[in-house]
Structure 1
Amino acid sequence: MKIIAFVGETFESFGGYYYTKPTSAAFLQDAVGMDQVFVCSPTVIAAEQPTRFSTKVASDHFHTFPKYSSTKDFVLKSLVNPGFFKRYAKAADDVIRQHPGAYFWIRTPSVGSIVFGLRALKAGEKVLHHMCADASNTWRDAKYSAFEKVFGYVLSRYIRHKLKQICRHSNTVNLCTGNALEDFSKKYAPDRTVQFVDVMVKPPKQLVEKPVTPGFLNLLFVGRIVEDKGVLDLLHVASRLGDQCHVTIVGDGPDLDKAKSLAAQLCLAGKVMFTGQLPHQQLSDIYNQSDLVVVPSNNHYEGFPRVIMEAWSHHKPVVVADVGGIRAFVKDGENGLIFAPGNVEQFYQSVAKIVADATLYTRLRQGAKVMASQSLQTYWLNVLRTKLVQHNDA
């Protein structure tokens, strides 16, 4: 079974291979084998051998596509320079013609993926449609200007219209991450929609069940350090909790210095540790040392934060903002607590409640253990393989 995957991330070319960070292409390679996966994405030439990567593709299994940085960038390039869209469409059509009978993998709401998927369907090919984020409300984010909000709203309506076309097509298998996207897809293709997360989580090599100190929690945040991921909210919560918590923040991003400055202003020295970006193999130890993983996102673009499943694979409960499709898996009071995004008071109350109630923490940790097997890559590989067999037999 051959899969042609449009993944969108920019790959670095070096020595006959293409390299980049974790992508769904790596998941697909594990699902059907490296020889059966061909990747379509923008590229740059690397000056030296990349060392920090999770996806590696041989040059004879790679198709280079015109580069764009975002949906907005794609649309503007297409409007200002019609030749950009023509080159993009031609690249898609050339790939589709080279691989008749294959499955064509797209990840939406990426506009490049939407274009690629629609052209594959028009050519009579089969599409694996991974809906991994909801673009319908991203225009609401506070970081956008009034003009950008109007532009974003109009574009989001157009994208939803195109997503409906892809979802309802008989040649499409819809793989939805989170309850919101699953509900959307089931309106148009209930029999060809399944819940799916392309996690790469492996069973921890070592699982430490450390006792929890009464009245104290080690909190962990793993992710990109940007304001709309709720990092600054977390620091305010840590300040209010005082000696009842220690916070470890893993990741890098444009707001790292801003977060460090706020931590200093709040006198959190010794209570908050910034590790920077860490190799994946080091994260297991960090999870083992934590008691509770927090996911306080306050944006409108989240699908389902995969860090939740990384936490559960280590039997750690979560406190999460009610964004994207988290309710597909997070059950409030069972394997975590849910609070309103951007509501720092609710965020604080959720963590404080767990700090003060050892029985509640024990129940949440048991719920996390229940979710552990469903949080591993092997579980979702089986979901994908089963759906492919069903679709081929239909």
Structure 2
Amino acid sequence: MDLTLVVYGSLDEQSGGFRYDRRLVDSLRDRGHAVDVVSLPWTSYARALTHNYGSGLPSRLADADVVVEDELCHPSLVAANRRVDAPVVTVVHHLRSSEPRGRWRNAAYRAVERRYLRGVDAAVCNGETTRATVAALADLPTAVAPPAGDRFAPVDATATSAPGDGPLELCFLGNLEPRKGIHVLLDGLAQVDGDWHLTVVGGTADPGYGRRVRRRVRALDLRDRVTFVGRLPDDAVADRLAESHLLTVPSLYEGVGLVYLEAMAFGVPALATTAGGASEVVTDGENGLLVPPGDATAVADAVRRVRNDRDLLRALSEGARRRFERQPDWDDAADAVEALLREVGPA
């Protein structure tokens, strides 16, 4: 089958959604499908809406048996898709209108996403939570294709940092942007005494927010306890995770949260929130801890629990590794996607 994938920027970008798209493309190519990638330029939401007119985008998608689109690109495609002859399948990591923001602004995003979803033929969703949000806006065929967490080379389950009596090593892994909740994490950690250290790994998706986060570290007098290392290559990220005791990414919303699975490969439990689909990966008290989104006091209480109870931390670590080993692999995801493509594609 000849497929065209539409994304913003490049598949080489490092966020979880782009890693998902990249692995999906690799799996489909391994199965003999031709996949052409069409890159759209990053821009503001309002400017992206103008891509629908006068850009020649439909003609760039004309030769595909099926057009596959990352739903992130929906503002650029909401009207253009109606001039595309091929079936269109969207890959949904999470809906923009599911993110926390002002009611009226989200209502506008929801209206655009509803129109977009009603103009495609099917949707690939990364989890059941995402599928439910799609179903609330449009009635269309869907397939759930959960991500695997095998970003790193096979991890020896014994080669991780056993929770002993030393400092509690915390790791935040993700882009510095408000949705990832690092401001909430810092406010929570400021309430926690004892011997702990946080390493922040990730690029700065929102420079203004990144500056505010660093100012917050200074204002909370956490400079000796928080280290920003920026974006790291995969081998260095693996080393950091192997030395960590708890992944702390209290996102205000996650479709699923690929990063939690990636940490669990190292036996690192996750502190996540109940917002969105993180609970499809993180089970409170079994392989991690769940807190309400935006609740710094709950973050502090959760960190204190594992700081004070290393037996609990050890049990969570063992549960995290077991959870990772149960996760479907990319072949399973490709099976689900391929079946959906054949359902909507040419006979």
TM-score higher than 0.5: yes
- Is contact 2:163-2:313 (8 Å) kept? no
Structure 1 residues 316 and 200 mapped into 2: Cα distance closer, same or farther (>3 Å)?
closer
Give the alignment's TM-score, normalised by structure 2.
Answer: 0.83
- Computing the radius of gyration from Cα coordinates, the structure with the larger value is 1
Distance 2:114 2:139 in 1: 15
Aligned-partner SS, 2:111 = helix
List gaps (5 residues or longer) in structure 1.
Answer: 12-18, 43-66, 79-83, 143-148
Q: Within 5 A, what are the aligned runs for 1:253-268?
A: 253=204, 254=207, 255-268=209-222
Identical counterparts, % of pairs: 20
RCO comparison, higher one (Cα < 8 Å, 6+): 2
Give the superposition deviation at 1:351.
1.6
List gaps (5 residues or longer) in structure 2.
Answer: none
Alignment partner, residue 57 of structure 2: 91
Distance 2:239 2:24 in 1: 27
Structure 1 residues 234 and 386 mapped into 2: Cα distance closer, same or farther (>3 Å)?
closer
Distance 1:263 1:159 in 2: 36
Count of residue pairs brought into register by the alignment:
332
Return 367-376 or 313-322, whichever deviates more.
367-376
Distance 1:339 1:127 in 2: 37
Give the alignment's TM-score, normalised by structure 1.
Answer: 0.74
- RMSD over aligned CA atoms reads 3.0
Give the superposition deviation at 1:181.
1.6
Q: Within 5 A, what are the aligned runs for 1:53-64?
A: none
1:358 has 2:316 as partner: no
- Is contact 1:221-1:293 (8 Å) kept? yes
Q: Within 5 A, what are the aligned runs for 1:104-119?
A: 104-111=67-74, 112-115=76-79, 117-119=81-83
Residue 286 of structure 2: which of 314, 331, 334 is its match?
334
Distance 1:105 1:165 in 2: 13
Structure 1 residues 270 and 340 mapped into 2: Cα distance closer, same or farther (>3 Å)?
same
Q: Within 5 A, what are the aligned runs for 1:1-394?
A: 1-9=1-9, 11=10, 20-22=12-14, 23=18, 24-33=20-29, 36-42=34-40, 67-75=41-49, 78=50, 84-88=51-55, 90-92=56-58, 94-99=59-64, 101=65, 103-111=66-74, 112-115=76-79, 117-120=81-84, 123=85, 125-138=86-99, 140-141=100-101, 150-166=104-120, 169=121, 172=122, 174-185=123-134, 192-197=142-147, 201-204=151-154, 208-214=159-165, 216-253=167-204, 254=207, 255-298=209-252, 302-373=254-325, 379-389=329-339, 392=342
Structure 1 residues 96 and 226 mapped into 2: Cα distance closer, same or farther (>3 Å)?
closer
Structure 1 residues 204 and 241 mapped into 2: Cα distance closer, same or farther (>3 Å)?
farther
- Is contact 1:297-1:341 (8 Å) kept? yes
Amino acid corresponding to residue 57 of structure 2 in structure 1: A
- Is contact 1:27-1:198 (8 Å) kept? no
Give the superposition deviation at 1:126.
3.4
Distance 2:249 2:167 in 1: 19
Structure 1 residues 251 and 383 mapped into 2: Cα distance closer, same or farther (>3 Å)?
closer
Distance 1:217 1:257 in 2: 26
